[in-house]
């Protein structure tokens, strides 16, 4: 349970591009998006990407399940980590649906310092020890 709503992150760092353009639900939200390619970070290690997102106050949105490792990538140090779980070779439509699901939830729950795992029909939110005490 949240005591109060926190300001939503204004920026989202995407790990992979969805073709050459961003899904409509993202562009309609007036959310600043930067891709790994935009930042010149292609080929960077996961650890380096995580550190850049933390230091620059970006929310990391990724398809890489490795970022769900809370020991290696503590969400409490980040502006948010979103892992979108998809089957192999997902369609663009499925990716857009999952991103839309994430953005709808983001409009009323803060992602700051949390890990969200987005799957079809549900979002699992990793609760830190601090969240559980509130």
pLDDT of residue 118: 95
Task: Say if CB 34 and CB 13 are below 8 A apart.
Answer: yes
pLDDT tier for residue 130 given thresholds of 50, 70 and 90: low
- Contact present, 123 and 100 (Cβ < 8 Å): no
Q: Break the chain into its structural domains and give their ranges.
A: 11-133
pLDDT at residue 23, rounded to an integer: 44
**Maximum mean pLDDT: which of 9-18, 48-57, 124-133:** 48-57
Using the predicted structure, report yes or no on whether residue 22 has a pLDDT greater than 50. Answer: no
pLDDT category at 32 given cuts 50, 70, 90 is: confident
pLDDT in tens, 36-88: 888 888 899 999 999 999 999 889 999 999 999 999 999 999 999 999 999 88
Q: Distance between CA 1 and CA 97 in Å, rounded?
A: 26
Give the position of tokens 């503590």: 74
Residue 117 in this model has a pLDDT that exceeds 90? yes
43 sits in the region (left: phi over 0; alpha: psi -120 to 50; else beta) called left
Q: Across all residues in the chain, what is the average pLDDT?
A: 77
Of residues 109 and 18, which shows the higher confidence score? 109
pLDDT of residue 21: 42
């Amino acid at each position: 349970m949240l005591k109060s709503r926190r300001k939503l992150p204004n920026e989202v760092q995407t790990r992979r591009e969805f073709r050459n353009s961003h899904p409509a639900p993202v562009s309609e939200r007036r959310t600043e998006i930067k891709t790994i390619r935009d930042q010149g970070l292609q080929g960077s290690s996961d650890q380096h990407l995580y550190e850049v997102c933390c230091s620059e106050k970006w929310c990391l949105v990724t398809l890489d399940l490795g970022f769900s490792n809370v020991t290696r990538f503590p969400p409490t140090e980040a502006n948010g980590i979103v892992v979108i779980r998809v089957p192999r070779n997902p369609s663009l439509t499925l990716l857009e649906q999952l991103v839309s699901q994430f953005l709808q939830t983001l409009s009323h729950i803060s992602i700051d310092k949390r890990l969200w795992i987005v799957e079809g029909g549900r979002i699992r939110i990793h609760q830190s020890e601090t969240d559980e005490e509130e």
